[in-house]
Amino acid sequence: MGKTWLFVVPVLAIMMLASAPPSSNWNLRTHGATYGTRGIAQVAFSTIVRDPNIPVEIKKGLEWNFIRTGAGAPDRWRQSPYYLDSGHTQTYVEIQGADYLENVERLQDMGVWDNVSYYLGIAAHYWGDVMCYAHHDNARLYYEQKYGPDLGYGIWDNYHHHLELQVKYYRPKDPALIVDDDGDEYTSLSDFIDAAKMRLDDFIYQTLRDSQNINNGYFGDWIKSRKIEETNYAVYANGNVDNVHYGSKELIDMSTELVYSGWIYALDNSSNNIASYVSADRITWEQWWSREHRTPGLTFYHKF
Ligand SMILES: [Zn+2]
Ligand SMILES: [Zn+2]
């Protein structure tokens, strides 16, 4: 290789790396961050606006344009020229989503509704991403160990696009409010967050248990345990991911429920008590997990 090439090749490599967009989780449309969207944040928002039991002050305070902007913000922070946010792996977004919800409480007390809306949007982004198991903390490592570094990355990349594209235009089902095991609403945001983190840690752990032991952590393990449209789980075996979309729509429904519930508990306070009045169905974590409340004609804890 000539002297010029010794210089040119590294420069080209740096340019290519710098221009490659960081791989994101759910599409902005799925998050509800685009105009005319029917994504996660939009469905959570319209559930609140349509609810006759939520006080007008809250409905008037919330502003969709700020929520929508917030719902896209964390992906913009990751890109040029900011590079401010880390990759949206599951453990990271679990923590971030909870932090932003906690800020909502404080901002509402101060009466700064623009910021309340914006922060609700940001929280919706992070807790939307938390169900995107293609971005599991160990996902890439898992594939790289199974198939080698070069092939492994390509297989992971293919698979993760597949999962995310399947739900790009999906409108999540109307969310229910997640309540405690006795069917009671949580009395504080921090109680709800603690319970949510326990469940999400379970989810992250079960999806891909151990990147060092690839036989003990196949993505399909999680799907196999699900109660979903496809009952012949054999189709998921041996790395066949063509039918994973049966799971990806479910993941978006679960995200939406998590986001909606987080919003309600963040907006709930001692003067409005909205968590006890919202007209949405109530589901326990067990039901959220098993999706049994989605069985046609079967409703749990319908209050009104
Ligand atoms: Zn993201
Ligand atoms: Zn992705």
> All domains of the chain, ordered by start, with CATH?
24-294 (1.10.575)
- Compute the average pLDDT of residues 109-129: 96
pLDDT at 38 over 50: yes
- Compute the average pLDDT of residues 217-241: 49
What pLDDT score does 249 carry? 80
The protein residues having their C-beta less than 5 angstroms from ligand 1 (an ion) are 25, 75, 88, 129
What pLDDT score does 234 carry? 55
Buried b (16+ CB within 10 A) or exposed e, 143-174: bbbbbeeeebeebbeebbeebbebbeebbbbb
pLDDT at 21 over 90: no
Are the C-beta atoms of residues 139 and 222 closer than 8 Å to each other?
no
CA 298 to chain centre: 25
What pLDDT score does 219 carry? 52
What pLDDT score does 298 carry? 42
What pLDDT score does 230 carry? 47
Indicate the pLDDT class of residue 269, thresholds 50, 70 and 90.
very high
Buried b (16+ CB within 10 A) or exposed e, 16-49: eeeeeeebbbbbbbbbbbbeebebbbbbbbebbe
Indicate the pLDDT class of residue 238, thresholds 50, 70 and 90.
low
218 or 132, greater pLDDT:
132
Distance from the CA of 98 to the center of ligand 2, in angstroms?
21
pLDDT at 3 over 70: no
Judged by its nearest atom, the ligand closest to the C-alpha of residue 161 is 2
Judged by its nearest atom, the ligand closest to the C-alpha of residue 33 is 1
Say how far apart CA 32 and CA 51 lie, in whole Å: 19
Distance from the CA of 203 to the center of ligand 1, in angstroms?
18
Judged by its nearest atom, the ligand closest to the C-alpha of residue 129 is 1
Residues 183-188: contacts with CB within 8 Å, 24+ apart? Answer: 183/282, 183/284, 183/300, 183/301, 185/275, 185/276, 185/282, 186/265, 186/275, 188/265
Judged by its nearest atom, the ligand closest to the C-alpha of residue 128 is 1
Find, among 38, 289, 60, 62, the residue nearest to 174 by Cα: 38
Distance from the CA of 78 to the center of ligand 1, in angstroms?
9
Hey, what are 46's tokens? 């319209």
Q: What is the pLDDT of residues 60-81, one digit of tens each?
A: 999 999 999 999 999 888 877 7
